[in-house]
Structure 1
Amino acid sequence: MSTSLLLQYVVIALAVLASVWIVLRKLARKTTNRWLAAASIHFNQPGRGALARAFGRRLQPIEATGDCSDGCSTCGACGPKPPAAARSGEPMPLEFRPRR
């Protein structure tokens, strides 16, 4: 196997892995957030080097911060947001549904 063919396989493998990661982040958000949180805890332990701790903080998902301003809605404390028409004071249109 030549070096250029090996390099081509490595580039294709990296592209496939990036595509799989993007699809997982879009379709299985809670699972990937759990993976990222576990990796973040592993790297961000006391006694680790500064570079490992910085990498662990970088891996931490936004939803794992526990800040009420990030809108993660994992704890349910924020509640659902009302529709834009209700917030602006405009009357909301009625919606009629047929009986089943």
Structure 2
Amino acid sequence: MSAGLIAQYAVIAALVAASLLYTLRKLAPTLAAQRQAALAATLLKPGRGPFAQRVGRALQPRGATGNCADGCGTCGSCGPTPAAEGKKSERPLTFYPPRK
């Protein structure tokens, strides 16, 4: 195997890993935040090296600040929902016959 082919495989593997992480964070944000916090806690254990400590601090998920600007959505008081305003939050599906 040549060095160029190995480099190509490394770049493809890095792109696939980045795509997987992006998809995980978009489709399962709670799971991704839990795993990120667990990895950060592992790196922040006493006795780890300074580089591991820095990476662990950088990986810690941001905590909720208690105001509505952080977008945590845990309290449910970050503004009225469309259903509370009297608007329909759901739209029915409309099926049309196929064109001839």
Q: Normalising by the residue count of structure 2, what TM-score does the alignment of the two structures yield?
A: 0.69
C-alpha displacement of 1:35 = 0.5
Structure 1, residues 12-57: CA drift from partner, whole Å, max 9, x if none?
Answer: 1111111111111101111111100000110112232222112111
Identify, as 1 or 2, the structure richer in helix.
1
Structure 1, residues 73-99: CA drift from partner, whole Å, max 9, x if none?
Answer: 33x2x623137xxxxxxxx7x648xxx
Q: Please point out which of 66, 69, 74 is paired with 1:68.
A: 66
Instruction: Give unpaired runs (5+ residues) of structure 1.
Output: 84-91
Q: CA RMSD in A?
A: 2.2
Q: Would you say how many aligned residue pairs link Structure 1 and Structure 2?
A: 83
Match of 1:6 in 2: 6
Secondary structure of 1:81's match? coil
Instruction: Give unpaired runs (5+ residues) of structure 2.
Output: 89-100
Which amino acid is the alignment partner of residue 36 of structure 1?
A: Q
Distance (Å, rounded) in 2 between the aligned partners of 1:95 and 1:32:
33
Match of 1:51 in 2: 51
Which amino acid is the alignment partner of residue 68 of structure 1?
A: G
Q: Normalising by the residue count of structure 1, what TM-score does the alignment of the two structures yield?
A: 0.69
